[in-house]
Structure 1
Amino acid sequence: YLPANVEGTFKAGTPIDGLWIVGIGAIGIAGAQWVEDREDGRNSRLSGAATHLSRMVLPGVVAAACSFLLVYADVRRVAGRFADLIDGAVALTVLVLAARAGLALYANWQLGERERRRAEELAVLYDVGLATAGELSLEELANLIAREATALTGTDGAMVSLAEKDHTFVVRAVHNAPALGLRSSVGEDLRGVALESLRTRDVVVANDYRDHPDSNPVLHDLIASAIAAPLVAHGEIVGTLTAYASRPRAFSEETRRLVRLYAAQAAIAIANAALLAETRRLARDDDLTGVLNRRSLLERLEVQIADATRHGETFGVVLCDVDGLKAVNDSAGHLVGNEVLRALARAMRQATRAEDVVARFGGDEFVILLPRTGPLPAQAIVGRIAARLREERYMWAGQANDLPRASFGIAWFPIDGRDADALISTADARMYEDKARARTTRLSAAAEAD
């Protein structure tokens, strides 16, 4: 459908024809592609628009000029030196525009990769941000941080340690442990390049892990490079984050920047999780003895009653009262009396089973729930607790002293009641009966001695 004078331009066999066709395609790509300079804030909006317009119009103008020259040379039968100049100019223009198109495509690909990478980074930070406002436990949060750190840095695995109350650091999570040879690291004391990050309170990169003075010799054949960062929240180091790679020099300056940003976010999440855990502990446990408090006990008792009713089971409720605590407080002081209560709680936890529940009911009274336990097994457990209390000691005036005697009362569900008040009242009455029998025994022994 082309005019006869233009049709000859596309005739096969001349070297310029293929280059002409490729050049027109390159010119079209160059006209459609450009990279916006996001950091150039010096130009005004008008000059920026003019620049983009020129980038779009100029390739079209050049394409029209090249087409005109080619058609003109073909129609006019231009030959000789002038035709060679036209062919050379067109060829050079096509090559320049093709190079420009290639560079534009490559720059756009790089821009797309940066945007994709940035989206992944934001997704990781968003996940950790959600954890900050969530209710994950410290162990769950540590595993999340290690997993997301591996994705963020593009490494083979990561490890998270958390600060303990004695200011030591213990590994709490390892992601992709088999690839790192770290199967037994969880629960161990912190080692490796993270120690330097603790000393410097900054990100540390070991481009050659084997040559780093704090490296773990066991991992020399598995890890080639590593990066570690302290997790600092409110000026206090709450943990460390370490990422490992099997290739040397795997961490760029950009990775260092990302790890520093990620560590700051992770540290806040850990501090919040620790605060939440401590708040829950204070609401659940007795602050003096570490066992459950009265409110938590009553909640557990209601749950136990519901479960036992549903499954037709029996369980025991033991009430324990310390007979001589007032005498200890009067003679040695309340600090020593508090130590007696802690020793009592410790002995009860040691003498009971894993499923049993020990709680401080108030003052010098303790309650022990014995799930799925009938009268005879319950009495055996109480006997074991009493024996353990006789073995326990507390320190006062530089010497170990026997614990005061404890009285016990036991009630069973559903024999002695089907609600918490009835069970505790029955156990309380039987505890006072035990206390009275002990007093009678002491008086009888004293009378016989006289």
Structure 2
Amino acid sequence: MGRSRSSSGRGSRPWQGQPSGACRLRGHSSPASRCPSGSDPVATCGRRPLPPGRWWQPPSRTPGSIADLREGPGWRSCRPPPESFDAPAWVPKPPAPREVRRRKRRLPSLHAPVQRRLTQPIATAPAPGLLSVDDVARAIRRHPEVVRRQARAGRLPAEKIGRGWFFRAERLVEAGHEQFRPLVVAPDASDRAHAASERLVLALSQAGAEALQLLDTESIFQAVGRRLAEVGLSSHFFLLTPDGQGLTVAYANVGEAAEQLRQLTGPRPPDYVIPLDQVPVLKRACQTRQAQYLGDTNLLVERVTHLLGSDAERARKIGNLLHMRTAISAPLVARDRVLGAINVVGEDLRESHLPALTAFANQTAAAMETARLLAESRELQEATVLALTAAVSMREVVSARAVQHADLADHLAQHLRFDPEARRRVRYTAFLQDLGKLALPESILKKRRRLNAEERAVMMTHPVLAADLLKRFRPLAALAPLVRAHHEWFNGEGYPDRLKGDGIPIETRVVSVVNAFFNVTFDLPSRSVELLDEALEEVKGFRGIGLDPSIVNAFIEMLWTARDTQVDWYQRMERELSEPQPFSQGLNAPRRDSFTAADSRELQIIYRIAQETAAVLDLETLLKRIVSIIQEVMDYDLVLLLLPGEDPDELQVGAHAGRGEIGSMRIPAGTGITGWVFQHRAPQIVPDVRADSRYIMLDPQVRSKLAFPLVSQGRVIGVLDAESQEVDAFGEADLALMAAVGSQLASCLEVAQLHDRLKREATHDALTRLVNRRLLLERVEQQIESAGRSQGTFSIVFLDVDQLKHVNDTYGHLAGDALLREVANALTDAVRGEDLVARYGGDEFVVLLPSTPAPAAIVVAQRIREGIARHRVMIGQRLIAIPGVSLGIATYPDHGQTTAELLAAADATLYAQKRRAG
């Protein structure tokens, strides 16, 4: 700016040390008294002023005094050189045009040294393989700022990471910069390993996601094995046996080595069980529920040798065939239950893959559990449909060939490429299409002559009746519109809704074609294979009228193809067409016994139980209604439902219906006829109980007995017991009825028990089995509402166990738990059945006394105190007394009108008593 000043004469400057009065002019820095512009220090003195914020910086020098220190580096003085004070030696240049100034400020010279404040800071590459701006600038011989501008403009392929630009050598080569080609090298071993791990994780995630979409276990195994094989891994799925002591091979995917592996291992039966002791790694995975890694090839071969009982050489061949270098065994756990394990074998598995394999195994187990539950649901649906079909056939309202009818409809649905769920709907519709005829009079169903107008109107109601029945049974509700439409015609002239064309469900249209085929073949008095072509021509004649033309054409094509290929089901159908039709209808038909007569009691029981299960989830209420239905429909003298109690080896009466009171009877498992049935899982018919020494006498008038085990998922969950005062009152018909309704009853019972258990856990204390705080507060609110309406009263007793901490510290917390349980027992013994005892929390209990005024509550509290004092607790080998309790009482509405007020009043009384006791 100005010329440099010497250091001489510095001390003679009178304004030194007073920068606040300095003149802010370019080249001037003097006190106001000596400023050439006069007394105003900021006035213009003929020289161009500095822009705001710009100050002249003196050159740095070594300070020699305080003044020197003040004027050293960082001291912003605006004094001009001494010689420029009287005669200014600095003349400002004329300002450059605005565009030039702006361009110079934005674009520094590329030939001058780079000033770091005008360019981006140097940034190191954030990852290997990336090039910085400076790296590229040196290679292409350009200034870094030029490289940066080209990257910003997209002329150089770059990636912006944070505030810096970075480049990849391969992309620069693709852009024509060959000087970077030496930097493009093949990935090293670590990169390959990382890529392999990424492929494995991707395959596992895809396999798990695909498994969750499948609905049967075999498809899950195939999909997972296929995904793992794509990344070079062999997989074996093992299922745990029911006793938990062995594994069965459920599925194996070893790729193209399957045949060679079979030759090396030899044949194994399908139900071969591998003891867990022979597979220690899988055993450890199942027991610890943690994935296990095995990376020693020799140890793997040794395990194979031990498992197969073969020589080491053959085991080594198996290892080489499967590329058995490393292995991971992961447990299949679902709903806190070990289903089995999956074993994955490959060349380069690592311990770092354990979390991914564990997550994948959990996904697979969840899919398997879902498939199992779905299969059980389908089995229940199948059993229900077959039971309903059997009930319909007992009234002789459907052909005895209901199964063949459904099978042929299923073949047609498969030919039309229906998915499994649609095929199941077709099959069930074929079974249940005449279900509504159960509600029709036998006089109409068995009439041999033509129906009159009134009778035909009644007959035409059976599709609606069937649909209404199915709607009330939730698992089969989806079949209601299909069954309702089975008499609709394709041209819209059918009944009951006059649906037309595609408005008729396609499953029903398939069943209608099969119905037409049976009408002109199996249902004719005279039939033969030779008339099959005529029958098909007759079916053709209904195309577009009553039947869907496309489905009729597909049906005929299917039959011709089956005849040419002679498939099994077609040959069987030809044989049945060749058989003479049995005489089974008419007035001379043999009389049926009472069980197989028109009432169809199985259907009534199944239907009514299904209704109750859908409407009632309370276990006690449901059990009472179920036994009442069976007793009412079957007209038994007494029906009992016995269930395992808190002790699994003891049966107690869950519900009963009929004459007499049973009470809370308990029967040890294995004792009596009912206990024997529970233990051996086999039904028993006792013609005369007096001749059977196992019978436990409950009623001296009982003469015969039927006991049937209720089995669900392979375990007995109860026994259904029926008794009669007549000798030999039960026969095979009654046993068949129990078998028909037993599976549905067991499933309904298990669902109700699960719901009851969950409900109880949500409202009861796990330690004392008393109700918890949540349910207590609900009951108190109900009492307040009830007492408010009736102007009544009630009381609560708040109780606190004294010195519980002392017991915990002296004998341990298990002793404290035992003490709390004994206090709960004492409280239950001391109050009425309608009183509610709850654990409020910790060592605090509350007793709700409905319709109890304060004086009566005091008497109850005293009875509670005396009862607790009589109870003892066994701790180890010592019998100790309960230390004591403190009690507080509150009565509605004297001590409060809300739950919080009542509890607070009782709590205050309790602590007042504690203070008095000292």
1:159 pairs, out of 637, 640, 657, with 640
Deviations 1:300-348 (A, max 9, x none): 1111222222222333333222231112112211111111212222222
2:602·2:740 contact (CA, 8 Å) conserved in 1? no
1:38 pairs, out of 401, 405, 412, with 401
Cα pair distance change 1:208/1:54, threshold 3 Å: same
* Paired residue secondary structure (1:239): strand
Of stretches 44-53 and 166-175 in structure 1, the one that deviates more from structure 2 is 44-53
Deviations 1:55-100 (A, max 9, x none): 59xxxxxxxxxxxxxxxxxxxxxxxxxxxxxxxxxxxxxxxxxxx9
1:356·1:369 contact (CA, 8 Å) conserved in 2? yes
Q: CA deviation at 1:251?
A: 4.7
* Bigger RCO of structures 1 and 2 (CA < 8 A, at least 6 apart): 1
* Counterpart in the other structure of 2:816: 337
Q: CA deviation at 1:154?
A: 6.3
Q: Does 1:200 align with 2:677?
A: no
Which residues of 2 match residues 43-62 of structure 1 at below 5 A?
49=520
2:773·2:841 contact (CA, 8 Å) conserved in 1? yes
Deviations 1:261-308 (A, max 9, x none): 322222222323333332232222222122221111111111122222
1:203·1:260 contact (CA, 8 Å) conserved in 2? no
1:210·1:217 contact (CA, 8 Å) conserved in 2? no
* Counterpart in the other structure of 2:913: 434
Q: CA deviation at 1:235?
A: 2.8
Q: CA deviation at 1:124?
A: 0.9
> Match of 2:520, as an amino acid?
A
Cα pair distance change 1:55/1:164, threshold 3 Å: same
Deviations 1:414-448 (A, max 9, x none): 23321111222222222222222222xxxxxxxxx
* Counterpart in the other structure of 1:67: none
* Counterpart in the other structure of 2:604: 123
Q: CA deviation at 1:49?
A: 1.8
Q: Does 1:290 align with 2:769?
A: yes
Which residues of 2 match residues 328-407 of structure 1 at below 5 A?
328-407=807-886
> Match of 2:645, as an amino acid?
E
Query: How far, CA to CA, are the matches of 1:156 and 1:376 in structure 2?
Result: 49
> Match of 1:204, as an amino acid?
Q
1:258 pairs, out of 731, 737, 747, with 737
Query: How far, CA to CA, are the matches of 1:388 and 1:316 in structure 2?
Result: 19
2:702·2:723 contact (CA, 8 Å) conserved in 1? no
Cα pair distance change 1:219/1:423, threshold 3 Å: closer
1:299 pairs, out of 768, 771, 778, with 778
Query: How far, CA to CA, are the matches of 2:869 and 2:618 in structure 1?
Result: 38
2:664 pairs, out of 187, 199, 207, with 187
* Paired residue secondary structure (1:320): strand
Query: How far, CA to CA, are the matches of 2:776 and 2:902 in structure 1?
Result: 13
Query: How far, CA to CA, are the matches of 1:47 and 1:279 in structure 2?
Result: 51
Q: CA deviation at 1:215?
A: 4.3
Cα pair distance change 1:38/1:250, threshold 3 Å: farther
Matched positions, count: 356
Query: How far, CA to CA, are the matches of 1:155 and 1:188 in structure 2?
Result: 20
Query: How far, CA to CA, are the matches of 2:776 and 2:591 in structure 1?
Result: 63
1:271 pairs, out of 740, 750, 754, with 750
TM-score for the superposition, normalised by structure 1: 0.66
* Counterpart in the other structure of 2:72: none
Identity among equivalent positions (%) equals 32
Q: CA deviation at 1:127?
A: 1.8
> Match of 2:650, as an amino acid?
T
1:209·1:220 contact (CA, 8 Å) conserved in 2? no
1:302·1:420 contact (CA, 8 Å) conserved in 2? yes
* Counterpart in the other structure of 1:88: none
1:233·1:267 contact (CA, 8 Å) conserved in 2? yes
* Paired residue secondary structure (1:187): coil
Q: CA deviation at 1:230?
A: 0.9
Query: How far, CA to CA, are the matches of 1:310 and 1:391 in structure 2?
Result: 39
* Paired residue secondary structure (1:266): helix
2:804 pairs, out of 320, 325, 330, with 325
Cα pair distance change 1:54/1:328, threshold 3 Å: closer
Query: How far, CA to CA, are the matches of 1:172 and 1:395 in structure 2?
Result: 32
Query: How far, CA to CA, are the matches of 2:402 and 2:798 in structure 1?
Result: 73
Q: CA deviation at 1:138?
A: 4.5
Cα pair distance change 1:258/1:356, threshold 3 Å: closer
> Match of 1:235, as an amino acid?
G
Query: How far, CA to CA, are the matches of 2:726 and 2:913 in structure 1?
Result: 72
* Counterpart in the other structure of 2:791: 312
* Paired residue secondary structure (1:417): coil
> Match of 1:431, as an amino acid?
L
* Paired residue secondary structure (2:598): helix
Q: CA deviation at 1:365?
A: 1.4
Deviations 1:91-121 (A, max 9, x none): xxxxxxxxx9996333498699958354x31
Structure 1 stretches lacking a partner, 5+ long: 1-33, 57-99, 178-182, 440-450
Which residues of 2 match residues 8-47 of structure 1 at below 5 A?
38=401, 41=404
Cα pair distance change 1:412/1:260, threshold 3 Å: same
Deviations 1:192-219 (A, max 9, x none): 5434423431222334555445346787
Query: How far, CA to CA, are the matches of 2:827 and 2:699 in structure 1?
Result: 44
2:602·2:741 contact (CA, 8 Å) conserved in 1? no
* Counterpart in the other structure of 1:85: none
> Match of 2:680, as an amino acid?
T
* Counterpart in the other structure of 1:149: 630
Query: How far, CA to CA, are the matches of 2:798 and 2:698 in structure 1?
Result: 53
Q: Does 1:106 align with 2:614?
A: no
Deviations 1:365-386 (A, max 9, x none): 1222333333333333323322
Cα pair distance change 1:237/1:249, threshold 3 Å: same
Query: How far, CA to CA, are the matches of 1:168 and 1:40 in structure 2?
Result: 42
Query: How far, CA to CA, are the matches of 2:587 and 2:872 in structure 1?
Result: 80
Which residues of 2 match residues 228-243 of structure 1 at below 5 A?
228-243=707-722
Cα pair distance change 1:368/1:108, threshold 3 Å: same
